[in-house]
Every structure is written in structure tokens, then in C-alpha cells.
Amino acid sequence: MEEVTPISGRKSDHIRINLEEDVRSGLTTGLEGYRFIHRALPELNLEDVNLSQILFGRELQAPLLISSITGGTEQAARLNRTLAEAAQQTRIAMGVGSQRTAIETPELAGTFQVRPYAPDILLLANLGAVQLNYGYGVDQCRRAVEMIEADALILHFNALQEAVQPEGNTRFGGLASKVAAVCKALSVPVIAKEVGWGFSEPDVRLLAEAGVVAIDVAGAGGTSWSQVEMHRAQNESQARLAAAFVDWGIPTAQAILNVKRAAPELFIIASGGLRTGVDIAKCIALGARLGGMAGPFLKAAAQSLEATVQTVEELRREIQVCMFAAGAGDLEQLRRTELKKV
Ligand SMILES: Cc1cc2nc3c(=O)[nH]c(=O)nc-3n(C[C@H](O)[C@H](O)[C@H](O)COP(=O)(O)O)c2cc1C
């Protein structure tokens, strides 16, 4: 039986709204402002273009991440299993959705536990950073990692989403020092992640000082969580508040550059509105190591495992052809490839 806690009710709403409604940001990612310089003589063989790399001790066959999406309900467990099986077959990385519901109701842990289906993938645990101001600490972070045998922990920062939710947790004061305590105590790397509005340079500096190893920029241009909350609103006034933020946020391309400028030592994951392999390749040329997607993988996983694997294979091929036509034989060369600003 599916347990209907307030959190799992919200999770079901989120999946339904993301599958059925138009929840796109009013902004674009900014990636359309960059082009690769075409190479008519790439001096490479297409099949020799190498997309593999080792990250956090795991070998990936493409620079792709299934971004944090879900967990906590029966439907979420099915989606997580499909996503994990696809990630294992294609050897890409995956994050699970916020594990708070399973920290609070341990019987729900199974809905996040995908290791049996994906023993070799880079797997990322997930908790909302703001929970550190609501009684969570190192212990809960450690439990989230152990619950799914994760390689790293994502702490997500979703201040605006919480602020437009009627039941939101909005006490974001004094969070950086609590993040620092978690980074210090945990034995796995900590990744800071937005959920679709990106990070500014001052944010990046605070997070770097706190000791995070990586930033997933999750910039604007894709799924907009204020739009999702607009569709969940219980009255007109709540809906108007959420709708006011349709154009909010730092576009993904700018957010990548913000990390590069403010903390060049940090490892960058790009996400937020990435929809093609060319988008992902551009992010890598701008400085990222990995490109993540949530919305498109949710839609594919809701269809079938085959559709999810096919989505990954198509993205992988697009990245490979893009690297070929830009003259980059591997991901290091892609990172050094110059983009033209248009
Ligand atoms: C249904 C759904 C649930 C999500 N839940 C989480 C979550 O629990 N934790 C998190 O860090 N991000 C969550 N996200 C945000 C995504 O990881 C991602 O940052 C955001 O959707 C932007 O990427 P996109 O434009 O490719 O969808 C969720 C996204 C979707 C579509």
C-alpha cells in the first residue's frame, strides 16, 4: 500500500504536474548564444571519439547525469528502478530525489534503493540543504548516503521554491556554516545543487568556502519550480505569487561561468534546460564535467525502460557527432574547445 504522507502527496503532485503541464521557465539557458566552430577537417575518425571519463571513482561512458527526480511513493520506486536500469545499461550517472521522506519514514527507503539494479553507476544521494535548519545534521546526511550506497551527497538549494509553496521551509538564515560542518564530517564528497535558478558568484564563493567539492548549477531555462508550484496552488493568490517568477533565475550558461570565475577549482555539473547532446557538449566546452537532465528523463521513464535507454543513446550519439564536427577527440579536448559567442 502506498503511504500518503504530506511529503509523498507532494511528490505525486510534482510528478503529475511535470508530466502533464507546461512548466518551462520563461527564460532560455543562454546556450543558444554560443556556437562551436565547425571543422571540415576534424582529423579524427568518428568512431574514435571517446566520451568516457572517471568521476568520483566511477567510469562513465558518456558525460551524462540523470538529475535528482524522485522517491517516496510506489510510482517513484518504479521510475527510480527504470532510471537506474537505464543508467546501468548505458553507464551514466544518476541522482535520486530528496530522501527526506525516507529519513522521516524509514519504510520508504526501498523506493530510493536502486543499487541492486545499478551496481556500477555513479550514484548521488539527495537532501534539501534547508533541512539543516530544521533539525537535520551530519547524522541524517550520513543516513541518506548509506541508505542508497551513494558515491556522493547532493544538498539542494531551493529557496524560491520553498517561498512560493504554502507549506515551504523558508528559514535559510545561517545555512553556510551548517553546510560546512556536513562537508567536514562526511566521508563522501558534497555537491551543492540548485533546482532551476542557478548560482551567482557570491553563492559560489560561500559554497566553496563551506567545502563543497562540486556545484550542479541547475540554472534557468528548463523546468521552472515556481511554475510547478503555480499548478499546485490552492487559491488564486498563491498561483499569482508563483506565476510572478516565471522569468526568474540565472540562465544555465551564465551559472557555469559564475562557478568558473568565482571558484575555478570546483568541479562543475551543468543542468537546467539541457535538451540535446549539443547543449551538453557546449556546457562541457564552457567548463562543466557532466550534463544533467531531469524533465526529459522523467518523461522517458514514465514510458518505458526502452524509451529511457533510447534517450540516453541518442544524446550520447549527438555528443559524439558534435565532438567530431568540432574536432575534439575526447572530453579533455572538448573542455579546451573554444566556443564562438553569437
Ligand atoms: C519531478 C521532479 C522532481 C524533482 N525533485 C528534485 C529533488 O527532490 N531534489 C533535487 O535536487 N532536484 C529535484 N528536481 C530538480 C531537477 O533535478 C533539476 O534540477 C531541474 O528539474 C532542472 O532540470 P531540467 O530542466 O532538466 O528539468 C526535480 C525535478 C523534477 C522534474
- Residue 119 to residue 102: CA distance in whole angstroms: 21
- Residue 141 to residue 266: CA distance in whole angstroms: 21
pLDDT value at residue 3: 43
Length of the chain: 342
In order, the DSSP letters of 109-177 are GGGT--GGG-TTS-EEEEEEGGGGGTT--HHHHHHHHHHHT-SEEEEE--HHHHHHSTT-----TTHHH
CA 70 – ligand 1 centroid, Å: 8
CA 219 – ligand 1 centroid, Å: 11
Q: 3-state DSSP call for residue 11?
A: helix
Band (pLDDT 50/70/90 cuts) for residue 4 is low
- Return the percentage of the chain with pLDDT > 90, whole number: 96
pLDDT value at residue 2: 40
Band (pLDDT 50/70/90 cuts) for residue 29 is very high
pLDDT over 80 at 313, yes or no: yes
CB 132 within 8 A of CB 175: yes
Q: Report the interhelical angle of 252-262 vs 277-286 (nearest 10°).
A: 20
Q: 3-state DSSP call for residue 314?
A: helix
- Measured distance between the N- and C-terminal CA atoms of the chain, rounded to whole angstroms: 54
CA 144 – ligand 1 centroid, Å: 18
CA atoms in the 13 A half-sphere facing the CB of 304: 3
CA 84 to chain centre: 15
**Whose C-alpha lies nearest to ligand 1, atom 22?**
272
**Whose C-alpha lies nearest to ligand 1, atom 31?**
295
- Return the percentage of the chain with pLDDT > 70, whole number: 99
pLDDT over 90 at 232, yes or no: yes
Band (pLDDT 50/70/90 cuts) for residue 144 is very high
CB 283 within 8 A of CB 274: yes
Ligand 1 atom with least separation from CA of 98: 8
Q: Scanning the structure block, which residue is given the C-alpha cell 520508504?
A: 108
Please give the model's pTM, rounded to 2 decimal places.
0.97
Q: 3-state DSSP call for residue 260?
A: helix
pLDDT value at residue 1: 35
- Average of per-residue pLDDT values in the chain: 97
Ligand 1 atom with least separation from CA of 275: 26
pLDDT value at residue 5: 67
Ligand 1 atom with least separation from CA of 14: 1
Mean pLDDT of the region 169-198: 98
The residue among 224, 211, 239 whose CA lies nearest residue 272 is 224
Long-range contacts of 167-171 (CB under 8 A, 24+ apart): 167/6, 167/10, 169/128, 169/130, 169/131, 169/133, 169/134, 170/130, 171/130, 171/133, 171/134
CA 225 to chain centre: 13
CA 156 – ligand 1 centroid, Å: 10
CA 195 – ligand 1 centroid, Å: 6
pLDDT value at residue 140: 98
Mean pLDDT of the region 95-116: 98
Band (pLDDT 50/70/90 cuts) for residue 10 is confident
Residues with C-beta less than 6 Å from any ligand 1 atom: 14-15, 18, 67-70, 97-98, 126, 154, 156, 193, 195-196, 218, 222-223, 271-274, 293-295, 298
Mean pLDDT of the region 295-322: 98
Ligand 1 atom with least separation from CA of 17: 1
pLDDT value at residue 14: 93
pLDDT over 70 at 200, yes or no: yes
CA 242 – ligand 1 centroid, Å: 17
In order, the DSSP letters of 164-199 are HSTT-----TTHHHHHHHHHHH-SS-EEEE-SSS--
- Residue 254 to residue 195: CA distance in whole angstroms: 15
